[in-house]
Chains A and B, each alone.
Chain A
Amino acid sequence: MRFPRTTRRKIANVVMLGLTAVATLATVSVLFFILGYLVVKGGSSISWAFLTRLPKPVGESGGGMANAIVGSAKLLAIAAATGLPVGFMAGLYVSEFASKAMAGGVRYAADLLNGVPSIVIGIFVYTLLVLPMKHFSTLAGGVALGIMMIPIMARSTEEFLRAVPGSLREASLALGATRAVTIARVVVPAAMRGILTAAMLGLARVAGETAPLLFTALNNRFWSPGFNQPISSLPVMIYTYALSPYEDWLRQAWAAGLVLLALVLLANIGARLLLGGRLHSG
């Protein structure tokens, strides 16, 4: 190069752009690092016993996390039963019925709720359900997760309903259908795939939540029949075991981490494939 200044600029160009590529590579590799590390540390500990047995008392090795796996499933079922319908109907309201002011209000409330730290949701449900009932329960834990799902569900329902073309609505209305019929028979079915995917993503997100369960569902080393007792869950189990001094518990924490991460990532990848990349997180 004849001009040093040009050379400098070109070098700066290559170096800085190269750094952005390095940053990207590093960020993406963190994902594979975490996944790989969990597979290495936890893969060997996943066994039939791990999936089907109850935890053993301290000092005895072996045992499993069957109660935590079932517990997570039960908590998610409550979360889905409470959070999904509320979020869906609220999204439907904002998209199809609400006046501009009402839509703004509901949307603002949902955004606010979405930004609330999960531990604060835990406090809220504690004061709402645990204090009056005077004990920790499966129900409280599930409701805490359900509340976290409401804004996720409301926002994506609204988005997907809005994406339904106006011509579809007009065609239905022109055939004499009322608005309620149009929404129930035309608009919602057209957006159903997106909404179901969003529900799946929402469930995957709250499945990994620990903080709102710490003082709502608490933990339990045994089975928890019904909905009225404390219950174990995979994230809380990982938290408890990860900080324990016992080798065997640590081993199980890795295994549980692998199970949880695999479920969450599979749900996410599945949702993405189902939607063909139309959904953007955020």
Chain B
Amino acid sequence: MRTISAALSTIRLPRPRLVARLARSDRLAHLLAGVFGLLVVCVTGALAWQLWSNSLLPRQRFGWGFLFRQVWDPVAGEFGAAAFIYGTLVTSATALLVAVPCGVGVAIFLAELAPRRVSDLASALIDLLAAVPSVIYGLVGVSILVPVMRTWLQPALKSVTGGFFLFSGPAYGVGFLTAGLVLAIMVIPFIVSVGREVLLAVPREQREAALALGSTRWETTWRVVLPYARPGLYGAIFLALGRALGETMAVTMVIGNRPEIARSLFAPGYSMAAVIANEFTEATGDLYLQSLVEVGLVLFVLTMVINAVARLLIAATTRKGST
């Protein structure tokens, strides 16, 4: 009996209700997905809020001066981020000075010269370089680059430049220059992969016109292709800068960890990410801990701005190239 009534109820199920139920499931699905979309916004917002609200003490105590004070004395309760901001900026700038010519060169080779298969293979390998964990760059940096810097590269630079202030002082091995070089290797893959895309987006006619006028391959690249792709290349560089600013482990392991502003690139220094990594678990007292959080806040704002600029530039070029 029950099976018959069950069967009857299935048959009598009015179709409009079925459609309505499915339509409701459409709205349900929309709602469900929307909740997760909103969750992403909330996580990002919560991150910004937590950084802000957990750095209240040093902001009240030191104000904007926090950014310009060089003192970092946990015992006396005096904190300022100038030395760390300086270290982050100097190492990132060093990294870009090395990585930009090199990375753009590689991008030119892959986009303009190399046969398709070679280009694809090399790009894949360079992408793998981007996948190498930061701590492994640190490990290799500490055990290879630091001794090489101390015994060979730093003395050589010193004698060649003859006491130029950037390359003066004792060769410790660790320091701004070493950190900058490790960072350079780490960000080259980003410059290459975006740079290659941007160069490939330059219309063929541009190259053909230049070549038809008698330019060599290099002149075509240098005078026509690169200027055309310039905003996108700047985007690639800013993207790399964003990475370099926030890079933690590799820098922490080779920068020397001394909170001082030194003019020489050979000197040991400190970066924002490194000081957080080193001192966060040992920070005693709310002011100390919150000062470290404020360093994180500064880092967050800085990378946010740089990344926003990078996105705008890349979007502008790829749109121009595709039309």
Contact = CB atoms under 8 A, between A and B. Distances in A.
Interface residues of B, number: 92
B64 interface: no
A193 B140 CA distance: 35
Interface stretch (B73-81, B105-113, B149-157): B105-113
B126 A27 contact: yes
B134 A204 contact: no
A188 B39 CA distance: 21
A214 B307 contact: no
B109 A21 contact: yes
A20 B136 contact: no
Contact of B216 (A12, A37, A181): A12
B307 A17 contact: no
B209 interface: no
B291 to A, nearest CB: 12
Interface string B129-142: 11111111111101
Given A119-B246, A119-B276, A13 B218 contact: yes
B140 A34 contact: yes
Contacts of A102: 34, 37
Query: Which of B44, B127, B242, B253 has most A Cβ within 10 Å?
Result: B44
Interface string B112-127: 1110000010101111
15 contacts: A27-B102, A27-B188, A31-B128, A34-B136, A92-B36, A102-B37, A111-B311, A115-B303, A120-B51, A123-B276, A181-B22, A183-B29, A238-B135, A264-B133, A265-B128
Interface stretch (A47-55, A57-65, A73-81, A254-262): A254-262
B128 A269 contact: yes
B249 A21 contact: no
Contacts of B208: none
Contacts of A122: 276, 280
B166 interface: no
Contacts of B30: 97
Contacts of A96: 33
A66 interface: no
B37 A20 contact: no
Contact of B300 (A38, A90, A94, A117): A117
A94 B37 contact: yes
Contacts of A9: 216, 219
A120 B299 contact: yes
B135 A124 contact: no
Interface of B: 22-23, 25-26, 28-30, 32-41, 43-47, 50-51, 54, 101-103, 105-106, 108-110, 112-114, 120, 122, 124-140, 142-144, 185, 188-190, 192-194, 197, 216-219, 222, 242, 245-249, 253, 273, 276-277, 280-281, 292-293, 296, 299-300, 303-304, 307, 311
A140 B185 CA distance: 31
Given A27-B129, A243-B253, A280-B193, 18 more contacts: A38-B140, A96-B33, A111-B307, A116-B303, A120-B51, A120-B300, A122-B280, A123-B54, A124-B50, A178-B23, A180-B25, A180-B29, A184-B29, A210-B135, A215-B281, A218-B281, A242-B135, A268-B127
Contacts of B43: 109, 113, 147, 150
Contacts, number: 271
B89 to A, nearest CB: 14
A280 to B, nearest CB: 7
Given A86-B36, A93-B37, A128-B46, A211 B105 contact: no
A1 B105 CA distance: 28
Interface residues of A, number: 92
A34 B250 CA distance: 14
A184 B30 CA distance: 12
Given A92-B33, A106-B41, A239-B135, A24 B106 contact: yes
Nearest to A12: B218
A106 B40 contact: yes
Given A115-B307, A180-B25, A89 B281 contact: no
